[in-house]
């Protein structure tokens, strides 16, 4: 079975290069992947995540397509613990994959925390 990152190697390499820069604490290299309008929000999320560091490795356990963009999960891991990030990637005008959003999930919080039960979108009326 072919994974998304195998079908889109340039995206997979972007995710890996960004994660390697974070692990190496090369902030400028990591920030080259971020589009300018979200740089401050990215820095705030990374600041919170870095408080769990330093990190010596990473895992990228998930990648999902969202229209023309992709959401990656990246877990940075170190001797003091880990930090889970959700990072949204989009292709810019010159074809390179860039970070359009980054969110840190502190321990005990997941992307689904606070979402609640799904609401019924449609209900068929069997008596109609």
Tens-digit pLDDT profile for residues 65-118: 989 999 999 999 999 999 999 999 999 998 899 999 999 998 765 555 544 555
Alpha carbons 118 and 120: distance in angstroms, whole number: 7
Domain ranges of the chain: 4-105
Tens-digit pLDDT profile for residues 51-61: 999 999 999 98
Q: Which DSSP state fits 37?
A: G
CB environment 27-48: b (16+ within 10 A), e (fewer): eeebbebbeeebeeebeebbee
Model pTM score = 0.80
CATH 3.30.460.10 fits 4-105, yes or no: no
Beta bridge partners of 83: 76
């Amino acid at each position: 079975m072919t994974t998304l990152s195998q079908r889109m190697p340039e995206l997979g390499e972007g995710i890996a290069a960004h994660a390697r820069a974070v692990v190496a604490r090369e902030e400028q290299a990591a920030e080259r992947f971020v589009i300018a309008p979200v740089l401050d929000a990215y820095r705030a999320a990374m600041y919170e995540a870095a408080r769990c560091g330093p990190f010596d490795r990473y895992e990228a356990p998930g990648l999902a397509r969202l229209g023309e963009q992709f959401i990656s999960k990246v877990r940075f891991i170190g001797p003091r613990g880990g930090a889970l990030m959700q990072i949204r990637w989009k292709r810019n005008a010159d074809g390179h994959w860039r970070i359009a959003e980054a969110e840190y999930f502190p321990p005990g919080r997941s992307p689904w925390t606070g979402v609640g039960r799904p609401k019924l979108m449609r209900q068929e009326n069997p008596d109609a």
